[in-house]
Amino acid sequence: LISDTTGAGLLPAPLRPSPAEAELIDRLVDAGVLHPVAPTAAPAEPDDEVTVVVPVRDDPVGVARLLDSLSVVDGVAEVIVVDDGSVDPTRLAAVVDAAVVRADRGAGGVPTQVLRLEASLGPGAARNAGAARATSDLVAFVDADCVVTPGWLGPLRWQLRAGDLAIVSPRVAAAPAREPGTGAALLGRYER
């Protein structure tokens, strides 16, 4: 444990753990007992840029909301929206086109494209199709009914750089409830 021995609110720089300590830390993390805390302001490094893949079927409103939230995230190289056989693909294409126009005008946003699958193959196949088109080494899968917060990507990149991890996941929380007593309100109370 590191403690403030000076009483000034400052902590000494963390020491590199011994091999035995590192093994214990790894075991505790693997068991889910210890949860590493990443710096919230980990800036993107050149090889850290991320392709965000969004599998979706018939949810242009969700995609629009997600793209708006992604427009302020540092380190997103591109967004690939995979249309998994939507009944009306033109509505989804219009949302992506609007995001492309915003990005081209420098009004926020990142390069975005839509990949259309003619038949619905399910979210797993849609994720794989999007990942195959990714231009960056790192890929984040974000569902269309999600909204990301500005700092969500930094800790994930930090975890990938810091250890022997190939896959990381952020904390996913329910959106705030609009009305008390609803299922969303109960879920929010449970998560708190």
Distances (CA, A) of 13 to 10, 16, 18, 25: 9, 10, 15, 18
Q: For residues 134 and 56, give the distance between their C-alpha atoms in angstroms, rounded to a whole number.
A: 17
pLDDT (mean) for 24-34: 82
pLDDT (mean) for 60-81: 91
Neighbours of 150 (CB within 10 A): 12
Range from 17-21, 41-45, 93-97, 144-148 carrying the lowest mean pLDDT: 41-45
pLDDT (mean) for 124-149: 94
pTM for the whole structure: 0.74
The residue ranges of DSSP E strands in the chain, in sequence order, are: 50-56, 76-84, 112-117, 138-141
CB 81 within 8 A of CB 56: yes
- Tell me the pLDDT band of 2, cut-offs 50, 70 and 90: very low
Q: For residues 110 and 150, give the distance between their C-alpha atoms in angstroms, rounded to a whole number.
A: 14
Length of the chain in terms of residues written: 192
Main-chain phi, psi angles of 39, to 5 degrees: -65, 140
Q: What is the pLDDT of residues 79-89, one digit of tens each?
A: 999 999 999 99
Residue pointed to by tokens 């427009």: 71
Backbone dihedral region for residue 109 (phi beyond 0: left; psi -120 to 50: alpha; all else: beta): left
3-state SS record for 87-102:
CCHHHHHHHHHHHHHH
Round to the nearest angstrom and report the end-to-end CA distance of the chain.
27
